[in-house]
Structure 1
Amino acid sequence: MNHSSRSARASAEAERLREVFAGAALDVTPSAVPLGAIERAGRSRLRRRRAAVLGVACGALLVPFAVAGLRDGTEPAPGTSVRPSPTRSASPTPTPAATAPEAPPVRTVAPGERVRVAPGIRIWLTPQGKHWSEPEQPDQFRSVVDGNLDMAAPGLTMQSSGKSGGQWFLSGIFHGPGTPARAEITTTGGPVTATVLTLPGNPGWGVWYAVTKLPPLAKGHVDPMDGITKVTVYDADDREIASLVTGAG
């Protein structure tokens, strides 16, 4: 068998195979396209995409809160979400009520320097003596150089005037050797601390004063000043520089 005979036979077999395949294809009936299944699958994929986008957005919102917590030195516990803490307005720290400082027991003042004792009451010293002013009695004066006081011996004077609310303004001149450190008014209700004013250079005299309530009157007494029994000015060693015993009480 020559080469041309084999080629002719192969061509005839190939033609028969094409006819067989063509007949078989005509006998195949195509199935219907599953449109419902395709639509459901598309909706499912769309829902999954939306859920993924929302998850990414929520994660982006929570990141600043987590960072804020780490900056504050705190860290959220595993499995818990971080929420921003509510903003609170800072309330002012209560300020303790201011209290007026107590007058020093002894104060050295310049000549003519006016010292406020109480509303409307002032005291000032000059080399000539004690000056004071009250609302009803302004510009009063008691001299230490006119000879009415025996400056050669220790002594103490007292002036008084009643104030509203049961308060009394008590003051006077003291003189004697020594440097004053404190003054005390002895009353039937107990001791009252007074303030001492002196001029620079310790001239040997000064002024004492106090604003205080006096104790109730004892039986048989009508003058509120009867509640005062003694006024004393002491030095730093608690020795008397000068005193006045009233004899009341």
Structure 2
Amino acid sequence: MNHPSRSPRPPAEAERLRAVFTEAAYDVTPSAVPLAAIEREGRRRRVRRRTAVLGAACGMLLVPLTVLVLREGVSAPVSGPSDRVRPPASSAGTSSPSPAAGKVRVVAPGERVEVAPDTEIWLTEDGKHWTEPGAPGPQFRSVIDGNLDLSKPGVSLQESGQAGSYFLSGIFNGKGEPARVEVSTLAGAVNGTALTLAGKPGWGVWYATVKVPASLTSDAGMPGVTRRVTVYDSAGGVIARQEFRS
């Protein structure tokens, strides 16, 4: 069955439709472009990207610092006040090194000080105790038995030695805080060292070591090598002085 073919629209109708569409298009008013909103959004995105970049960079810097802190914590831990190492307190029966010559050291009662090889001195409230090579046991010199006159300044002396090396020591008493001890010997003047108890006991112990050539000593018995002992205070005043040999 054959359908009749449609004939094309006449040009006048097409022109009329074009005119209608054109008029309708002119009546449509486009909305304004939101430039301010677009600009704000652009700034927001730029700030967000910049913040993200900076955060990543800071993170990269913080990682090595964190590792460094951890390594420091492992290799050198920080101790609190309760973890600090404290030196053991001196007590009777223990020995501590001798202070350098010319010094004054405050010791605890019974604190033993090694003052020479195999020689120790310790102080108690009643006097001077010491040990020395060849002695059968500890030696003692009292400050309360009346053998020392503590009512006036004075210095006592004990000497021992062999092969030209002599150990000199004794008790001194007087008013003032000792600061220096000077010992005059056959071989010249040497600096002595003082030991004293805390507080103001009014007495202390001095000692010194000196080498004396054999030509200056006699062959008969134990020679006296000490000429004079002087104990000074910090101002240079004399606390006690004693002559032992003219």
Q: Where on the TM-score scale, by shorter chain, does this alignment land: which range?
A: 0.5 to 0.7
Identical aligned residues as a percent: 52
Q: Measured at CA, do residues 223 and 193 of structure 1 come closer, stay the same or move farther in structure 2, by a change above 3 Å?
A: farther
Alpha-carbon distance between aligned partners in 2 of 1:192 and 1:171, rounded to the nearest angstrom: 13
Confirm whether residue 147 of structure 1 aligns to residue 160 of structure 2: no
Give the direction of change, closer, same or farther, for the CA distance of 1:216–1:238 in structure 2 (3 Å limit). Answer: farther
What's the counterpart of residue 207 of structure 2? Answer: 209
Note the alpha carbon deviations across 1:149-187, whole angstroms, 9 max, x for none. Answer: 111110100001113x42111100000101100101112
Does the 8 Å CA contact 1:232/1:243 hold for their aligned counterparts? yes
In the superposition, relative to structure 1, how do residues 220 and 125 fare at CA in structure 2: closer, same or farther (>3 Å)? closer
TM-score (structure 1 length as normaliser): 0.54
What is the TM-score when the length of structure 2 is the normalising length? 0.55
Pick from 187, 190, 194 the counterpart of residue 189 of structure 1. 187
CA distance in 2, matches of 1:217, 1:136: 25
Partner of 2:232: 234
Unaligned runs of 5+ in 2: 1-97
CA displacement, residues 176-207 of structure 1 (integer Å, 9 cap, x when unaligned): 10110010111243211110000000210000
C-alpha separation in 2, matches of 1:203 and 1:231: 20
RMSD after superposition? 2.3
The 1-side partners of 2:210 and 2:202 are apart by 27
Letter in 1 for 2:165: Q
Aligned counterpart, 1:131 = 129
Call closer, same or farther: CA 1:166–1:110 in 2, change over 3 Å.
same
Q: In structure 2, what is the equivalent of residue 199 of structure 1?
A: 197
SS of 2:166's partner is: strand
Letter in 2 for 1:172: G
- Equivalent position amino acid for 2:242 in 1: L
Matches of 1:128 and 1:200, distance apart in 2: 14
Segments of structure 1 that go 5 or more residues without pairing to the other structure are 1-99
One-letter identity of the residue aligned with 2:117 = P
SS of the residue corresponding to residue 178 of structure 1 reads: coil
Q: Structure 1 residue 166 and structure 2 residue 167: aligned?
A: no
**Which residue identity is paired with 1:141?**
F
* Letter of the structure 1 residue corresponding to residue 123 of structure 2: L
Output one character per residue of 1:197-223: Cα deviation in whole Å (capped at 9) or x when no partner: 000002100000012212555598956
Contact 2:159/2:224 (<8 A) preserved:
no
Instruction: Supply the distance in 1 between the matched residues of 2:233 and 2:220 (Cα, whole angstroms).
Output: 34
User: What is aligned with 2:88?
Assistant: none
2:107 to 109, 114, 122: 109
